[in-house]
């Protein structure tokens, strides 16, 4: 792996830990060129597809899921660790289902359930996009449920 700072091709592993219930490994590395440290993650690669409402299928993309969650949490007082945990929980739940293809709506419900407990403003933001509120009345009804 090349150093992200100087591009040097060699590094040494300083620390290695299993994370996410043993399904991933976090490694702290030190560049042998510039001596700066950086973190890498190793995940089990399982091909999982997301089926969209319009019939399209696309590979599950953890980064896309994270961007959606981060967008809902913009300017909210939620630590990065909580975002990491939410994304990992949703990904783990998808994998535990044991299905190769999961509807996007199901993933959306998983995210909404966790956002509702984590930050209610982010929950409403996510729900407004996910559920495609057509008017203020739908939005108000969702707020009243909370």
List the chain domain ranges: 1-44, 46-145
Spatial separation of the C-alpha atoms in residues 108 and 143, rounded to whole Å: 18
pTM attached to this predicted model? 0.66
For residues 94 and 107, is the Cβ–Cβ distance under 8 A? yes
Q: For residue range 7-56, what is the model confidence (pLDDT) as tens digits?
A: 999 999 999 998 877 778 999 999 999 999 999 999 777 789 999 989 99
Cα–Cα distance for residue pair 141/137, rounded to 1 Å: 6
DSSP 21-72: TTTEEEEEEEETTT--EEEEEEE-----EEE-TTS-EEE--HHHHHHHHHHH
pLDDT digit string, tens, across residues 46-99: 789 999 989 999 999 999 999 999 999 999 999 999 999 999 999 989 988 989
Distances (CA, A) of 51 to 58, 96, 108: 7, 17, 12
Specify the DSSP element, H or E, that contains 15: strand 11-19
């Amino acid at each position: 792996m090349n150093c992200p700072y100087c591009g040097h091709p060699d590094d040494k592993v300083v620390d290695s830990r299993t994370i996410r219930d043993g399904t991933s490994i976090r490694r702290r590395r030190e560049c042998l060129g510039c001596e700066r440290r950086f973190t890498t993650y190793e995940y089990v690669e399982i091909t999982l597809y997301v089926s969209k409402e319009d019939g399209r299928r696309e590979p599950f993309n953890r980064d896309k899921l994270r961007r959606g969650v981060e967008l809902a949490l913009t300017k909210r007082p939620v630590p990065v660790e909580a975002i990491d945990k939410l994304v990992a929980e949703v990904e783990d739940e998808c994998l535990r289902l044991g299905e190769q293809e999961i509807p996007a709506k199901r993933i959306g419900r998983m995210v909404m359930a966790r956002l509702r407990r984590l930050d209610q403003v982010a929950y409403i933001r996510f729900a407004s996009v996910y559920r495609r509120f057509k008017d203020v009345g739908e939005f108000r009804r969702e707020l009243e449920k909370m």
